Amino acid sequence: MLAKLHHILDRLGVFEPLDRACLKSLRSIAANESRFSRLESPAYLRRSARTRFATLRTATFALDLGVCACIDLQRALGLRAEEAVKSCKSLVSWKKQLESGKPVHVIFGTKGGRPRHVDPANRQRALEAVEAAQKITATQRGVLINKADEKSAMNRYKNVMRNAGFKGKESGHALRYAFANDQIEAYTSLGYSKSEALALTSVDLGHGDGRGRYIAQVYAR
């Protein structure tokens, strides 16, 4: 306890003798310091993020089942919004690829029209997301978001996401951040170096293997 008090005093730049009331307050701070540290730990933050995602997902589910399926696909495969909305064209092949242990081939809605392969760390989660999306497309003319054209579908996606609470740091892009961190952790657990894991994750996200540093700075935070 005494060491913690000295640490707090040093941080505050306090070197004068303190009265009893002040010391009592400092002891309280020191006693709670370990609890505050736990609240800021990566494990706690991951649990908090999962809880928050579940809340936002529930709100999305109540507004539009198709948009909810899109966010599940984004979380499971690291998809961009447009890729998720247009994924209805690839669900059948994705299911086959996941079941056979192959990477998922993302073709439609990609940035710059550049297809890519995604090798999700959690294949079961990805398969469940794809199968759930298929059930929705089976009742909606083969599309995830029941609109007349893709532009209207994208507008519907954006409106539902905003109304559900996916805004700012919690925008739909945050789902890609979560996916990226899962991928990095999975690659490093397989024995890849940090730079290799970042490069592989960069490819999964559609940035190319030369942008590992960018992934570390933007996604792996």
Residue with tokens 């059948």: 92
User: How many Å is the maximal CA-CA distance in the chain?
Assistant: 76
**Do residues 95 and 134 touch, judged by C-beta distance below 8 A?**
yes
Higher pLDDT, 75 or 211: 75
Average pLDDT of the residues of the chain: 81
Give residue 10's pLDDT.
Answer: 45
Structure tokens at 9: 């005093």
What is the 3-class SS of 122-174, one letter each residue?
Answer: CHHHHHHHHHHHHHHHCCCCCCCCCCCCHHHHHHHHHHHHHHHCCCHHHCCHH
**Do residues 108 and 92 touch, judged by C-beta distance below 8 A?**
no
Higher pLDDT, 220 or 128: 128
Categorize the per-residue pLDDT at 33 as very low, low, confident or very high, splitting at 50, 70 and 90.
Answer: very low
Residue with tokens 């707090």: 8
What's the DSSP call for residue 205?
A: H
Q: Provide mean pLDDT across the span 71-81.
A: 96
Give residue 168's pLDDT.
Answer: 81
**Do residues 144 and 85 touch, judged by C-beta distance below 8 A?**
yes
DSSP3 helix / strand / coil % (the chain, rounded to 5): 70, 5, 25
Categorize the per-residue pLDDT at 212 as very low, low, confident or very high, splitting at 50, 70 and 90.
Answer: very low
- Residues 174-191, buried b or exposed e (16+ Cβ, 10 A)? bbbbbbbbbbbebbeeee
Global confidence as pTM: 0.75
Could you read off the pLDDT of 132-170 as tens digits, one per residue?
Answer: 999 999 999 999 999 999 999 999 999 999 999 998 877
C-alpha distances in angstroms, 23 versus 10, 26, 112, 131, 141? 14, 5, 62, 60, 70
Q: How far is CA 136 from the centre of its chain?
A: 23
Task: List, in order, residues 6 or more apart from 35 with CB less than 8 Å away.
Answer: none
Tell me which residue of 214, 189, 185 sits closest to 199, measured CA to CA.
214
